[in-house]
Amino acid sequence: MSNPSLLILPGDGIGPEVMAEVRKVITWFGDARGLKFDVEEDLVGGAAYDAHGTPLHDDTMAKAQAADAVLLGAVGGPKYDALDFSVKPERGLLRLRKEMDLFANLRPAQCFDALADFSSLKRDVVTGLDIMIVRELTSGVYFGEPRGIFPDNEGGRVGINTQRYTTEEIRRVARAAFELARKRNNKLCSMEKANVMESGILWREEVQWVHDNEYSDVELSHMYADNGAMQLVRWPKQFDVIVTDNLFGDVLSDCAAMLTGSLGMLPSASLGAPMANGRPKAMYEPVHGSAPDITGQGKANPIACILSFAMALRYSFDEGEAATLLETAVQKVLAGGARTADLLGPQGGTAISTTEMGDAIVAALAASQ
Residues forming the site for ligand NAD (CB under 6 A): 14, 18, 74-77, 90, 93, 263-264, 285, 288-294, 300-301, 304, 342
End-to-end, the C-alpha distance of the chain in Å comes to 26
Distance of CA 19 to the CA centre of its chain: 15
Paired strand residues for 11:
74
Which residues are part of the catalytic machinery? Answer: 142, 193, 226, 250, 254
Q: Which is nearer to ligand NAD, 191 or 311 (CB)?
A: 311
Nearest approach, Cβ of residue 347 and ligand NAD (Å): 18
Q: Report which of 136, 166, 159, 146 is spatially closest to residue 247, judged by C-alpha positions.
A: 136
CB of 28 closer than 8 Å to CB of 360: no
* HEC string for 149-200: EEECCCCCEEEEEECCCCHHHHHHHHHHHHHHHHHCCCEEEEEECCCCCHHH
CB of 130 closer than 8 Å to CB of 93: no
Q: Which is nearer to ligand NAD, 210 or 282 (CB)?
A: 282
Nearest approach, Cβ of residue 88 and ligand NAD (Å): 8
Name the DSSP letter for residue 117.
G
Nearest approach, Cβ of residue 195 and ligand NAD (Å): 33
CA distances from 296 to 88, 299, 300 (A): 22, 8, 9
Residue type, 51: A
Nearest approach, Cβ of residue 305 and ligand NAD (Å): 7
- Classify residue 123 by burial, with Cβ atoms within 10 Å: 0-12, 13-18, 19+: exposed
Nearest approach, Cβ of residue 286 and ligand NAD (Å): 6
Task: Sort strands 187-192 and 157-162 into parallel, antiparallel or unpaired.
Answer: unpaired
